[in-house]
Structure formats: C-alpha cells, structure tokens
Structure 1
Amino acid sequence: MTNTVSIPTFANSSAQPTAPLFSRASGLRLVEQIVQALASRIDDRLLRSGTRLPSIRQFADQHGVSRFTVVEAYDRLVASGHLESRRGSGFYVRERAPLINAALSKPEETAGNQIDVVWLARNMFRQLPPQKMPGSGLLPNELLDAELVANALRSISRQAPNALLQYGGPQGFLPLRQQLQLKLAELEISATPEQILTTSGVTQALDLVARHFLQPGDTVFVDDPAWFLMFGSFAMLGARVIGIPRTQDGPDVTKLAELAAQHRPKLFVTNSVLHNPTSGSLSSPKAFQILKIAEQYGFYIVEDDIYCDMHPGSAVQPATRIAALDQLQRVIYLGGFSKTLAANLRVGFIAASTELARALADRKILSSLTCSEVGERVVYKVLSEGHYRKHIERLRGKLERARDRTLRQLDRIGLDTADSAPVGMFVWTDTRRDANRLTELAMAEGWLLAPGSLFSPHQLPSSRMRFNVAALSDPAFWRFFEQALAGA
C-alpha cells in the first residue's frame, strides 16, 4: 500500500520531525529551502521509498507558498533522483541506489595493476586536489582566473542567448577564428580564417589529423619523451609509433633523418615550444633541419604548441616555431586554451593549408558534427577584449616563482637540476632510482606522480620523473618524497 505524507506532520510515517520545513527569514529562496528539506528527509529515510507527496495544490495551501514554487521544488527533486513523477497520480519518493562520491574515492591501487598510460590518465580524473597530483598536466585553479571565464560566460548568455541553443559552425565560431588569425600573426604564422578549424581541445585536433593521414601499418614519429596519451591513440589506429630522441634544443636530427630514410613516416608530432615533459624549446637551426628532412622524405610535421602562451619570449629561452618557417605548407599547427584559461572549455584549434583545413572540417562533421560554440564564444570574448594578455602576464609570473621554489627544493633533497629548462610548468628530473617504484610509494600515500617510463613509446623503465611546478606547494609532499628517495 502506498503511503501519502503530509508535510511536515508525516501522517503516515513514524517519523515526526520537529523542525519547520522552511523559514521566511532565511537568506535562501523558498524553493531552495524546500528542496533541501525534502532531500534531506529522503536521504535520511524519514520519507520512505514509494511514499506519495502532497499534490502541488495541497502543498501550496498547507504552507502558504505559490504553486509555482512547489512546481519548481518538485521538478528539482525529480531531476536529482529523489522523486519520480507518475502521470495522473502525483509525486513519489524514488528508490535510490547509494551514490559514490567520486571526489572522495581513492586512487586506483597499483598492486596487481601495471603503471601505464591508462593508469595515469584514469587517476588524473579521480578529482584529487591539485596539490595531491605533482605529476599532473594541469594548473591548479588558484593560478587561473575563474572570474574571468565566469564574466565572459555571463556576458554571452545575455548578449546571444538564442545562439546557445543551436549547433555551431563545423569550422568553428568565425569571430574566434578571425581572432586566432591575429594571434598567429604575432607568432609570424600567416593564416586566414579558412585555414583555421576549431576543435574540442588539442586531443581532438591530433585525433582528426591522425585519422586523416594514418592507415593500419603506417609509421608515425613522436618525440621521446613526449605527451603519452597519443601513443595509445595512434596504436588504436593500427599505426607504428617510433620515438625520436629529444635533446635540450629539440629532436635529435641525425636520428630523425636516419629513421625517416628507414621507415618513411606519414607524420612527425613534436612540441617546438615548452616541450612536454622537459619544457625545452626548439632552436632555429634544429627547426630548419627538421623541415628540410620532412621535405626530403615526404612526411608532415604536426606542431603541438599548447604551451605557447606560457613562454616569456626568446630573451629567456630561444623558441622557434616550424610553422613560422613553413607557413603551413608541410606543417600542421595545433593550439588551444585548456592549459592557460580553462580545461573544461575544451577549445583548441588546427591551422593548416586551406585544402587540408577543409578536409579536416569534413572529418570533424562526420565524427562530432561541431564543437560547443559556448566555449568558443567565451574564449573569443576573453581574447578580443584584451583580458587574456593580462591574465597570461600574471600567469607567467606565478609559474616563474613556482618553478624557482621547485628547483630549490629538488636541489635541497639532492637531485640534480642543472639541465632543467629555465621556464615552463614542468621539470624533468633524474631521480637516480626506479621512478615506477617511487610512484607506487607515492600512490600508497595519496600522491599522484608521473614516472618517466610513461613518456616513452617503448614504456621502458626510467629514473626520470615529470613534476608540475605549480602543483608542489604542499610541504607534506616534500617530506614524503625525501623519505621515499632515502628508502628507495
């Protein structure tokens, strides 16, 4: 038999709450108070599964509130899974399975699980606090500007609300692409809006390029070490992934030429500026040599410049972009704003020849139709009003201070930082121990590290470790790591 509850007297329930349902003196809206009160009683099992709530009219009359208020409160409780609406019958307490709070779930144990690319990626999305993830690839929130993004989002919701209801254009929001044309010109890369395609981050950009060029059995070159997620992505396409050793000023061009002659790759994916994980940047001589080798052996260069805006300029560290030399003939340039503005916006872009940009846009339509124009409008707003430049200047200063602190701490605990790059968000250091073992010890204590083995396509054991300088502010980590080094 179905119970019907009269709130707050609970005529058919043994529970007799004494607190009123809501207070008009509270700072919260009546809707929010009603939702909180009913949700709490359902969660505490004071309202049992299957109990029928008063009708909208009955509830409104009993508590002296408008029927619109009750409708909104009930709708919210249906959306949260506390109630279910039965047409012609009313609202009932729903049977609810216990929810697991992902933010409080423990990182995946390493015992019995191999530390590999998927392991690290999975643990990076377990919502650990940033200060518990010294190996992560994102900046902590305090280094970013949430209010800058929020203001832009509020502005576009007022100015163009109808545009938020429709698909965006397949090639991307035109005003943003026009703004990116200006941004690329500052880097001495000439590109029209027709040569620019927006993507859902650099990850999608790289996937679109790979799917366009690679067939099973084809070879793709990557830096070694390099950003690890693309190794698995290329392998899933049936491609053979070969690493080109990375030196302080760029790839080993002698090895690149030797392997290109042997394997005839379709693509070479590389970071020219603030390479992940070393933070090194490409020198001009190396850039010319790479382009010459690509022309000789007929492969395309995919230049991933996601860390572009973190670089303070050539006065601190030389930084040459191959796309500036080639002007998008054999170079496909990738960029984005997930590292510097907001990862959740997922706004990236590809700049390529007009013909290739059009082909990639067609492939984008087939795989995802379009990207969210909401994020693209937010980025356009921030860029076009001049806020981004000031934000980046502040961010570089914060990174510089964080980097200095990290290098001092690494020196203090006896690790050599002499070959570390002078700028960037990563430090690539030699621990002189098995980095996988250090990672296991760290995970047991709730710290997420990034061992060097993950950054090589061969996944071989390594003593190297990537540190995110912006995620190393907790003294407790340094106490743990010093002890781990002593015991490893």
Structure 2
Amino acid sequence: MSSLLENIPAPVGSDQLTLVEQLVQWARRRIDERVFRPGLRMPSIRRLALDKGISRFTVVESYERLVALGYLEARRGSGFYVRERTAAGTPGASSHASRGGREGGALRPPPPSIDVPWLLNNMMHTTASDKGPGLGFLPGRWLDGDLLSNALKALGRLGGQTLLRHGTPQGFLPLRQQLQVRLAELEIGARPEQIVLTSGVTQAIDLISRLYVQPGDAVLVGDPAWFQMFGRFAAQGARLLGVPYTPEGPDLDALESLAETWRPKLLLLNSLLHNPTSTSLSAAQAHRVLQLAERYDFMVVEDDIFGDLLPATVPGTRLASLDQLRRVIYLSSFSKTLAPNLRVGYIACDAALAGTLADQKMLAGMTSPETGERIVYRILTEGHYRRHVEHLRVRLDEVRGVTARALVQAGLTLFNEPQAGLFLWADAHVDSSALTTAGYERGYLLAPGALFSPYQTPSTWMRFNTANCGDPDFLAFLAAYIQQHGA
C-alpha cells in the first residue's frame, strides 16, 4: 500500500484549510481521477498517520468524512475501501457480485482503459513530476515562473481596456512581427501575413486537417509518433498510414513506397527531436523528404515544437529552411519551453494559405486569446527566453545519460541514444499497456507504445521523459515488473 502514500499536494487556498480538510480534498481528487478505484483498500489509519506525520485522529476524522460523502465505505475489521460510484458520479453501493474476484478480502478492481483520452486526461491531472515518467512536458520545477509572472505584471500595467479588446484573426501583430525575426534566425523567411497564431500546435493541426483532409484521403504519420494528432485526422475520415522509424529517423524507403501506393494528401512529422524517439533529420534526409513530396504531390506539415531544445552543436535540419514554405507548413509552440498551459502556437506558410487558415480558425473558434500572445511577445522581446532555453538544454544533458543507464539497468533496451531532447524510446520486453496498468496502481503515469502507433497495436515499447525518471522507487518497480513478467 505504500504506493498510495504520496505527499498530499497543497490545494488552492490550503492555508485556510485544516489538516482534515486537506486530507479529504487529496483523497477525493484521487478517487475522482480513478487513481484510487472502486474496491481499493485505503492505507490503514496507523500507516497514513505515520507516513504523513499527522495524528491518527486526523486520519480517522478524514476517513469518516469521506464515508459520509459517499467516497469510502468502512468494513468492520478490514478497513476503509473506495466505494463504487455511478456513471453520473454519485455514490452507489458496491456491487460485490459483479466485480470479478477477491484478493485478501478486497475486491479486485478492473484495469483502466489505456487509450489516448485516458493518457491525455491523466497528463492534465498529474502534478508530481516524479510520478509521471510518461508525461510529455518538462517538470514545473525546471520552468521559470518569474518569466510569466513578470510578463503578466507588465501586461496589467497597460490598463484594463487593453485586455477587453477582441484579438485579430491571424493573431497579435507585434508577436507575428517578432516571430518573423525569430524564423529568420532559423533561415525560414516568413512575413507577418504568412503567420497565423493558434492555441497551440493541437489547434494548428485541427485547422490543417479541416482544410486538407476529406474522408478516405491518405495521411502519412510516423510510427511511432505524437498520438494526439491521430484522433484529429481520423475524425476527418483520413486513412492513417504509419511511416516506420529507424534509430536514424524515418525510413525514407518505406515512406516512398507508401507515397507511391497511396498518393497521400499530407505527411506530418517532427523534423527535430521527434516525439518519441528524439531523432532529427539530417540535411540529406530533409532533401529527400522534399523530393518525395514534389514527386508524389503531397504537402508536408513540419511540427517543430521541440526544436528549441536542440543545441546548435547537435546536427538537425528544418524542412522549412530548405523549402521556404512552398510545400511545407511549419508549426511550433511555446508550451514545451515556457508552460504547458500557455497555449500559444503558430503556423507559418504561404500567405494565401495563411489567410485561408485564419478563416478556418474564425469558423472553428474565433480568435485565439490575445492575453497569452501578449505574454509570449513580452518574454521574447525582453531577451530572457534564450537564456531560459539554454538552461533547459543543459539540464536535459545532465539527466539524459543518467536516465538512459537507469532504464537499461532496469532491463529495457533503448531504441537509440539521442544527443538531445526530452524523450527516450525503449523496449520493455513486456506488454507495455499491462505495465502501464501496473504502474497506475502504484501511482505512476506511463506512456505505452500502442498509443504512439496509428494502428494502436499491442507493443512492448514505451516513451520515457528523461526529466521524470529519477525516482528510485519507480526504477525498482520497473525492474521488478520486467523481471517477473519478461520472457
């Protein structure tokens, strides 16, 4: 039961809450998120009191309140258990007859459904980075909150009327002008009228899919690749085709074969620090991708969301720098380097296409929030962003090798040994969805390989966040599971 005994996160306004109220909030949140699932036995009163350094009375009072609220049930001589709740979220009686078998008197809960919505929802609710080896973003302790708070203070000094105005279809013009300068440094020529600001790369992909994809159209994606885009293209009726990856990047022979057979509308890939393998395109690979796009007449959507984490000393080539936005639609965002909830991204493309995408943006959800765009503009123009990103690169360099060695020691095999980036792609030699379920029971959020394939087939591969794998208890759990369940 020790896996449940994590530090109680301080809730909003916790300075006005008693210890009992804080403990109740902690337990309710974990039950609502189904981290503590129906039938699960809660930590004993003595164990929780010792672990948290609080009195047994505090634990008893908290558990009794949770019973009264319908979250727990007390079983005489056995302890407190998470109570079954109805689909509407209201408490309901435990259904002992329909929940499978028993283990030591406790009901055995069913495993969660490991799918993309499950992972996305749990990513949004997982706050402790050491509990999130599968998270897709940097831990909060690595990011610079002062950058955001100072920009917010400066924005507040502009006066309330500034914050009441509507945004513009293509986004805050000063930020687009600043992005023109930034893109020029990457050898990508883009005027402000060629840039459309979006609520992150997710919205950018949504707009592109609406514009380009009709039911039955073929779309090439990586296999593995960023899982969230699969659902967006599938919703448009696209036929998703996976381009396999090698330790050096996408298999371009396989890409050509797929393009020749299916004549796709789009190819979407990370040119730099691919999610999840952290591979980057060489100049020769980038040239060949563009040659294939020309030969088979498809557009390339270049997702460069992790590009800022690539040091200048590590080779990598952006497709847009070679193509100059003729056949390449370039995407990026600041959510990975500034804050996950700062949803400011952008599209750079041909000017006529940018206008059409801005129209799609207005139809889909009106303008993107200008407040966030102004915050990013302030951060970029104050000159602190470069130093911040360099600091992130250094920290990633410090942990990447340590994490890689720890995973190998735990029994995994690495796909490659990247020189930069946030992720490691590794073979656990067991069903990674089953491993994810076991980790979930211990309070860890993992990212199984099946979610990274457009075909969603069972997989032994997993994505690991190099910044979130330092917990010795997690590594011990990982090694023990692989040893027990491996072939």
TM-score normalised by the chain length of structure 1: 0.77
1:262 aligns with 2:241: no
Q: Is 1:435–1:464's contact at 8 Å kept on the other side of the alignment?
A: yes
Distance 1:249 1:186 in 2: 26
Q: Distance in 1 between matches of 2:246 and 2:160?
A: 50
Q: Does 1:469 align with 2:482?
A: no
Write the distance in 2 (CA, Å) between the matches of 1:123 and 1:133: 9
Whether the 8 Å CA contact 2:210–2:236 is kept in 1: the answer is yes
- Tell me which stretches of 4 or more aligned residues in structure 1 moved more than 3 Å: 98-110
Structure with larger Rg: 1
Residue matched to 1:381: 378
SS in 2 for 1:470: helix
1:292-337 CA-to-partner distances (Å, cap 9, x unmatched) read 1111111100000000110012x33x21011111000000000000
Q: 2:123 — aligned with what?
A: 124
Match of 1:204 in 2: 203
Contact 1:102-1:127 within 8 A present in 2 as well: no
Measure, in 2, the Cα distance between the counterparts of 1:430 and 1:424: 18
Shift of 1:165: 1.0
From 390, 395, 398, give the equivalent of 1:393: 390
User: What CA distance in whole angstroms lies between the structure 2 residues aligned with 1:175 and 1:163?
Assistant: 14
Instruction: Select 2:322's aligned residue among 320, 325, 333.
Output: 325
User: Which residue pairs with 1:149 in the alignment?
Assistant: 148
Residue type of the alignment partner of 1:296: R
What amino acid is aligned across from residue 343 of structure 2 in structure 1? R
Show the counterpart of 1:363: 360
Aligned to 2:443, what secondary structure does the other structure show? coil
- SS of residue paired to 1:277: coil
Shift of 1:487: 1.4
Q: Map 1:322-471 to 2 at 5 A.
A: 322-417=319-414, 419-471=416-468
Separation of aligned partners in 2, 1:409 and 1:99: 31
Query: For residues 139-158 of structure 1, what are the alpha-carbon distances to aligned partners after superposition, in whole Å with 9 as ceiling and x for unaligned?
Result: 11111001111110111111
Contact kept in structure 2, 1:178 and 1:193, CA below 8 Å? yes
8 Å contact 1:107–1:123 — kept in the other structure? no
Contact 1:103-1:126 at 8 Å conserved across structures: no
8 Å contact kept, 1:226–1:455: yes
Q: CA deviation at 1:437?
A: 1.7
* Structure 2: unaligned runs, 5 residues or longer: 1-12, 38-108
Deviation at 1:413, TM superposition (A): 2.3
Alpha-carbon distance in 2 for matches of 1:425, 1:402 = 10
Once residues 30 and 265 of structure 2 are traced to their aligned partners in structure 1, the CA distance between those partners, rounded to angstroms, is 41
* Amino acid across the alignment from 2:158: Q
- Distance between the aligned counterparts of 2:441 and 2:27, measured in 1? 21
Residue 252 (1) aligns with residue 259 (2): no
> How far apart are the structure 2 equivalents of 1:371 and 1:403?
35
Tell me the residue number matched to 2:164. 165
In structure 2, how many angstroms separate the alpha carbons of the residues matched to 1:415 and 1:113?
Answer: 24
AA in 2 matched with 1:439: T
Q: CA deviation at 1:367?
A: 1.0
**Contact 1:420 1:429 (8 Å CA) reproduced:** no
Alignment map for 1:68-217 (pairs within 5 Å)? 101-102=28-29, 105-107=32-34, 111=110, 113-217=112-216
SS state of the match for residue 179, structure 1? helix
**8 Å contact 1:429–1:464 — kept in the other structure?**
yes
1:103 CA drift (Å): 6.2
Task: Report the alpha carbon displacement of residue 247 of structure 1 after superposing the two structures with TM.
Answer: 2.0
After superposing the two structures, state which structure 1 stretch, 282-291 or 329-338, moved more.
Answer: 282-291
Contact map agreement 2:112 2:437 (CA 8 A) in 1? no
CA contact (8 A) 1:283 1:320 kept: yes
Residue 347 to residue 104, structure 1, CA distance change in 2 (3 Å): farther
How far apart, CA to CA, are the structure 1 residues paired with 2:460 and 2:349?
38
How far apart are 1:416 and its partner, in Å? 3.2
Stretch deviating more after TM superposition (219-228 or 242-251)? 242-251
Structure 1 position 105, deviation (Å): 4.0
Q: Distance in 2 between matches of 1:147 and 1:216?
A: 46
CA contact (8 A) 1:333 1:350 kept: yes
Larger mean CA deviation between 409-418 and 335-344 belongs to 409-418
The letter for the 2-side match of 1:129 is A
SS at match of 2:125: coil
Distance in 1, Cα, partners of 2:395 & 2:161: 38
Report if the CA contact (8 A) 1:210-1:234 is conserved: yes
Superposition deviation, residue 101 in structure 1: 4.8
Q: Deviations over 1:109-134 (max 9, x none)?
A: 69354322122112212234222111
In 2, the alpha carbon distance for the partners of 1:477 and 1:113 equals 20
Identity of aligned residues (%): 51
SS at match of 1:350: strand
Give CA-to-partner distance per residue, 1:56-95, whole Å, 9 cap, x none.
xxxxxxxxxxxxxxxxxxxxxxxxxxxxxxxxxxxxxxxx
Letter in 1 for 2:467: A
Letter in 2 for 1:449: L
For 1:94, the equivalent position in structure 2 comes to none
- The one-letter amino acid paired with 1:355 is A
Aligned residues: 395
> Residues of 2 paired with 1:257 and 1:169: CA distance?
40
Give distance in 2, aligned partners of 1:378 and 1:475.
Answer: 38
Change (3 A) 1:266 1:418: closer
Determine if contact 1:278/1:420 at 8 Å carries over to the other structure.
no
Match of 1:338, SS state, is coil
Name the amino acid aligned to 1:281.
S
Matched, 1:241 2:264: no
Deviations 1:424-454, CA, capped at 9 Å, x for gaps:
1000011122211211111111111111111
1:231, distance to aligned residue in structure 2 (A) = 0.8
Aligned-partner Cα distance in 2 for 1:418–1:230: 23
* Counterpart amino acid of residue 191 in structure 1: A
Alpha-carbon distance in 2 for matches of 1:107, 1:446: 11
Aligned residue in 2 for 1:482: 479
User: Partner of 2:97 in structure 1?
Assistant: none
Please list every run of 5 or more consecutive structure 1 residues that lacks an aligned counterpart in the other structure: 1-31, 44-97
Counterparts of 1:99 and 1:471, CA distance in 2: 22
Alpha-carbon distance in 2 for matches of 1:325, 1:402: 33
